[in-house]
Structure 1
Amino acid sequence: MTIVVDGIRFNVRLDGPETAPVLMLSNSLSSNLTMWEPQMEALTRRWRVLRYDQRGHGATQVSPRPFAVDDLADDAVGILDALGIAKVHFCGVSMGGMTGMSLLRRHRARVERAVLANTAAHMGPPDLWNQRIRTVRAGGMEAVVDATVARWLTAGFRASAPEAVASIRAMILSTPPEGYAACCAAIRDMDQRESIRAITSPVLVIIGAHDPATTPQAGALVEAAIAGARAVTLDGAHLTNIEQPEAFSTAVADFLSAMP
């Protein structure tokens, strides 16, 4: 379905029992809602799963103006408002996790429990992001796809799962370059290292043991900054939900189902 928030058309999908509690999933940079397919069978057993494509990704419209990570969190709230959903569990990978941190800071009444996977509260230096923006504007997503796949997936997984790798590669190539560039700028300008100390909701941090992008150290900093947060480390790189789908799904389900 299409939902308009802040003048932008968002691609949104709901799966699972209509009467079940809602779990909102938020995608990473240069991906779309199909990145969650490995989790859908397990998660829809217990939850009404709400997926959406972030700004400028998948079938969601590219924003006509610059924006910040806080705007991405407001997008999530706008989708919930349009659907009449008061409160959700939340799970986001990478940029989706950054969105989740802002959501927990600024809209805490809307989230019960949150999973922040393969993410960071700050990602420098700015020159890294500026270079990616220049590269993709000059050469399209073809200019960044190989490096992205190498960061996202370990060499062992890339060698053993060519079909999965091909699917991920196609997803990256389908991302609008200007959507990618705008989100790169939002990540470049983000610094939530101090502000996430105000988060009081239950949080699970999922870390990839071999993640070169949002490193284990970055994940540990998020865990340490949020009072009561827990962490689990999975044997994978940046997309642990792809490399370790069962372990990822189990970690999410166990945490969201835990008693207070």
Structure 2
Amino acid sequence: MPVTEVNGARIAYTDTGPRDAPVVVFGHGLLFGGWMFGPQIAALCTRYRCVTLDWRGQGESPATPGGYDMDTLTADALGLIEALGLAPAHWVGLSMGGFVGQRLAARHGEVLRSLTLLGTSAGAEDPGKARDYRRMAGVQRVIGVRPLLPRIRPLLFGPAFLANPAARPVLSAWQRRVVRLDRTGLRGAVHGVADRPGVETELGRIAVSTLVVTGADDVATPPVEARRIADLIPAADLRLLPGCGHTSTLEQPAAITALLEAFLGRLRRLPGQTAGA
């Protein structure tokens, strides 16, 4: 993967599709990387320039001594968009990528064309969950993440997906990747999520078209969180996926791809928009 330096961090990214096409930037969830959007990029990359970035200490981006808070990651995303000349771009963010997307749209809306939020929240982390996340982050720092995977899987994947034998290759691929992550970087990433402040008061400033999607079986960011976001962002479109957990791009890739194609396609057909908008 190519790497660019942003805000003192080396950020790994992918850049797929025609350079003169509308840009879609994908921000991944905690314990993943840009690879989690592979099915969507495969479908979109003939008509869109698809860019992923890996957050500090995750995916292929090296760990840094600090800077895992959501404000710093938002600055990283903005820096990558500016460094690659991607603005204005469509942002698609899942969970952690959604935390960043909301901040980016509220504070730097000029660099975005639209916002898609998948399985995410506008509020601070639930205190009980935050304590559990910090505890697990400390444990994995000492013994690694592998012993914790039985506790982590039900947070990231829905029961229907976990029970489906066809899901085993995806789960195996995720496990192979997550056990390789730098322990210090992973601890920082988890604390960045657990300690984040809410941004509910900022969402009214988001002016770009917004799609909010949640899995009905998402326990990490339950559907009530998506409904709250949709209520706070003017004219946001809310969609619920039955039988889906937190990691919708991998659990129901065809459904997410169809929603994105329809949403982005509508924006291209808006009056006053050019064919490449």
Mark yes or no: TM-score above 0.5: yes
2:120 counterpart letter in structure 1? T
- The 2-side partners of 1:86 and 1:238 are apart by 28
Contact 1:135 1:143 in 2 (8 A): no
Q: Which residue of 2 aligns with 1:77?
A: 78
1:162 equivalenced with 2:165 (yes/no): no
1:57 counterpart letter in structure 2? Q
1:257 shift after superposition: 1.9
Q: 2:256 aligns with which of 244, 248, 257?
A: 248
Q: Which residue of 1 aligns with 2:87?
A: 86
Contact 2:28 2:93 in 1 (8 A): yes
Structure 2's unaligned 5+ residue stretches are 271-277
1:66 shift after superposition: 4.0
SS, match of residue 65 in structure 1: coil
Moved more, 175-184 or 48-57: 175-184
Once superposed, what is the RMSD of the aligned Cα atoms? 1.5
1:111 shift after superposition: 0.5
Matches within 5 A, 1:141-220: 141-160=145-164, 161-190=167-196, 191-220=198-227
Contact 2:56 2:68 in 1 (8 A): no
TM-score, normalising length from structure 2? 0.89
Contact 2:18 2:49 in 1 (8 A): yes
Moved more, 135-144 or 197-206: 135-144
1:182 counterpart letter in structure 2? G
Contact 1:212 1:237 in 2 (8 A): yes
1:189 shift after superposition: 2.5
- The 1-side partners of 2:180 and 2:34 are apart by 12
1:145 shift after superposition: 2.1
- The 2-side partners of 1:188 and 1:155 are apart by 24
- Any idea what the Cα deviations from partners look like across 1:164-193, whole Å, max 9, x if unmatched? 221122222222222221122222222112
1:73 counterpart letter in structure 2? T
2:152 counterpart letter in structure 1? T
2:93 counterpart letter in structure 1? G
- The 1-side partners of 2:170 and 2:68 are apart by 32
Structure 1's unaligned 5+ residue stretches are none
Q: Which residue of 2 aligns with 1:230?
A: 237
SS, match of residue 258 in structure 1: helix
2:141 counterpart letter in structure 1? R
1:155 shift after superposition: 2.8
Contact 2:155 2:246 in 1 (8 A): yes
SS, match of residue 39 in structure 1: helix
- Any idea what the Cα deviations from partners look like across 1:217-245, whole Å, max 9, x if unmatched? 11111111111111111130001111111
Contact 1:145 1:173 in 2 (8 A): no
Q: Which residue of 2 aligns with 1:54?
A: 55
TM-score, normalising length from structure 1? 0.95
- The 2-side partners of 1:197 and 1:63 are apart by 33
Moved more, 151-160 or 104-113: 151-160
SS, match of residue 204 in structure 1: strand
SS, match of residue 61 in structure 1: coil
Q: How many residues align?
A: 260
> What percent of counterpart residues are identical?
27
